[in-house]
Structure 1
């Protein structure tokens, strides 16, 4: 496990939502919210974790809540999103449309033709 912040001091909760909106790297979210992570898990599932926390945050109503409560909830959501992918693969959750659309356990959508790539790669036969 990698500890995002070098010390275990309390996180800065002032204007936490605005600060989170300004972040871009997954590591920044973990550092700001003081959440530990395994570098290997983050390297494999970073986009999935960030998408999942975005879903969790979007489902919450933070209006009129104090920053301390918002920060605690955001931290819990990041831990939950991380745990989702630390314990199972991104293919299990299929949070991205491309993964949902190509679920091998689901039958093909009627009316949509699947043409295997092999058929394009075979050389054309001469008459």
Structure 2
């Protein structure tokens, strides 16, 4: 009786292992996605991966409707790289603006607020 239970348990383990192996392979084969972290440091100011994804998200949505597979992956990588470069450029402009102690005239801020509202 014990022998039969042991055989059954071994058979059950083998069958469940075989059934789960495709899921395990798929989990390990997928490229890990970075949730958040430092994408770049610009003269001490940090740009995070979430900021990059926030800038690239609208374009990525469009790309997902136009491409698939490896081509989609490549297009998304290009889009995120362009978004990162844009964020770096913006940060450099802001730093230069602050370094020179420039001030934005109040009427520009007011006009922009009215445009947004």
Q: Scaled by the length of structure 2, what TM-score is found?
A: 0.42
Return the structure number with greater relative CO, CA threshold 8 A, min gap 6.
1
Of structures 1 and 2, the larger Rg is shown by 2
1 or 2, which has the higher strand percentage? Answer: 2
1 or 2, which has the higher helix percentage? Answer: 2
